[in-house]
Amino acid sequence: MNDCLFCKIVNGEIPSEFIFENDDCVAFKDIHPKASTHILIVPKKHISSIADVSYEDAPLLGKLLNYAREIGEKLSLSGYRLSINVGKDGGQEIFHLHIHLMSNS
């Protein structure tokens, strides 16, 4: 997607400091944090929303949850919350699927 903010971040067109990266995703701090720790986990594959996933995306979604666990461990968080906003009415602002990892620890 040419105009997708997260695609530009994934592709290095917009500088960002990744706290985690592999072949499937990148993770970086949210610029408008809602908790002491607020990380966005963004798949490299452009999927607009969870409403647009297919069964073929199931392995990627499972991996994203495991990456969230790895990031929580890497940051030594005692607990955290995962959130996926779906659609404008669900609070989604950037239409590229992403997981919010938030913690106050």
CA distance 34 to 10: 22
CB burial string 5-25: b at 16+ within 10 A, e below? ebbbbbeeeeebeeebeeebb
Task: Say whether 98 is catalytic.
Answer: yes
> Is it the case that residue 49 has pLDDT exceeding 90?
yes
Per-residue model confidence as pLDDT tens digits over 52-73: 999 999 999 999 999 999 999 9
Q: Which of the residues 38, 46, 96, 98 is marked catalytic?
A: 98
**Full-model pTM:** 0.96
Query: What is the structure's pLDDT at 1?
Result: 61
Question: Which domains does the chain show, CATH number per domain?
Answer: 5-103 (3.30.428.10)
> Is it the case that residue 2 has pLDDT exceeding 90?
no
Any idea what DSSP says for residue 50? G
